[in-house]
A and B are shown apart, each in its own frame.
Chain A
Amino acid sequence: AQTVTQSQPEMSVQEAETVTLSCTYDTSESDYYLFWYKQPPSRQMILVIRQEAYKQQNATENRFSVNFQKAAKSFSLKISDSQLGDAAMYFCAYRRGAQKLVFGQGTRLTINP
């Protein structure tokens, strides 16, 4: 079975600085998708960024980018120029096809003004 591990329960960063959240996963599949979701106190899961496993190029969405290391099964999220609105729980997730998302345990990110 696929598993996703986030080893950092909590992280904090100064406003305007850069922070990296870690994620590792375990799968025997070669074709899959990886995601980072943000969950603020409102509980709404918001998609931050996604990566297709067959693509070597790392995905980027404005201030958010990933470092995808397929051989190492690592998928970290880098947030540049951190803003107060980035404070939330961040979940790394794996999915193969149209099946369920498998989530990690989450990392709580705090932004210090």
Chain B
Amino acid sequence: EAGVVQSPRYKIIEKKQPVAFWCNPISGHNTLYWYLQNLGQGPELLIRYENEEAVDDSQLPKDRFSAERLKGVDSTLKIQPAELGDSAVYLCASSDGTSFSDTQYFGPGTRLTVL
């Protein structure tokens, strides 16, 4: 079974430029998460989707970040415009969401460097 797929693996951009990250969850997983991981720290949730609905986006900086999950499968996270402080690893995870105990599986992440 294929795992969570993310692209690109690495992205280097100039500040004020836009950037987008793509995530394809494990087949059949209804719940999708985007996490932000700063260097030397644990990941923190940005947004959680149940199918197409964003059910927890309280930590998403909505002035510059946006996300979508069309058709309840793939998801895209966008930053516009990027700032120096956005340099980090962006992790996507998915779970089947069918039980209280479902496990989150992570993708390899996208490392963003803003110059």
Tell which of B62-70, B72-80, B106-114 binds the partner.
Answer: B106-114
CA distance A11 to B30 in the complex (A): 37
A98 at the A/B interface (Cβ < 8 Å)? Answer: yes
Q: Give A57-109 interface residues, CB cut-off 8 Å to B.
A: 91, 93, 95, 97-101, 103-106
Contact between chains at B100 and A43 (CB < 8 Å): no
- Return the contact of B100 from the options A45, A97, A101 (Cβ within 8 A): A97
Contact between chains at A105 and B31 (CB < 8 Å): no
Tell which of B11-19, B20-28, B91-99 binds the partner.
Answer: B91-99
When C-beta atoms are compared, the residue in chain A nearest to B43 turns out to be A103
Summed over the interface, the residue pairs from A and B with CB atoms below 8 Å come to a total of 56
Beyond A50-B103, A52-B101, whether A43 also contacts B43 by CB under 8 A is no
List A contacts of B56 (CB < 8 A): 99-100
- Return the contact of B109 from the options A37, A44, A95, A104 (Cβ within 8 A): A44
Q: What is the interface size of chain B, counting residues whose CB is below 8 A from a CB of the partner?
A: 28
B54 at the A/B interface (Cβ < 8 Å)? Answer: no
CA distance A59 to B77 in the complex (A): 35
When C-beta atoms are compared, the residue in chain B nearest to A42 turns out to be B108
A93 to chain B, nearest CB (A): 7
B44 at the A/B interface (Cβ < 8 Å)? Answer: yes
A11 to chain B, nearest CB (A): 15
CA distance A41 to B69 in the complex (A): 29
B42 at the A/B interface (Cβ < 8 Å)? Answer: yes
A47 at the A/B interface (Cβ < 8 Å)? Answer: yes
Contact between chains at B45 and A43 (CB < 8 Å): no
**9 residue pairs A–B, Cβ–Cβ below 8 Å:** A43-B89, A44-B108, A45-B43, A47-B105, A99-B48, A100-B48, A101-B33, A103-B43, A105-B42
Chain B positions within 8 Å of A, measured between CB atoms, are 31, 33, 35, 40-45, 48, 50, 56, 89, 91, 93, 95, 97, 100-109, 111
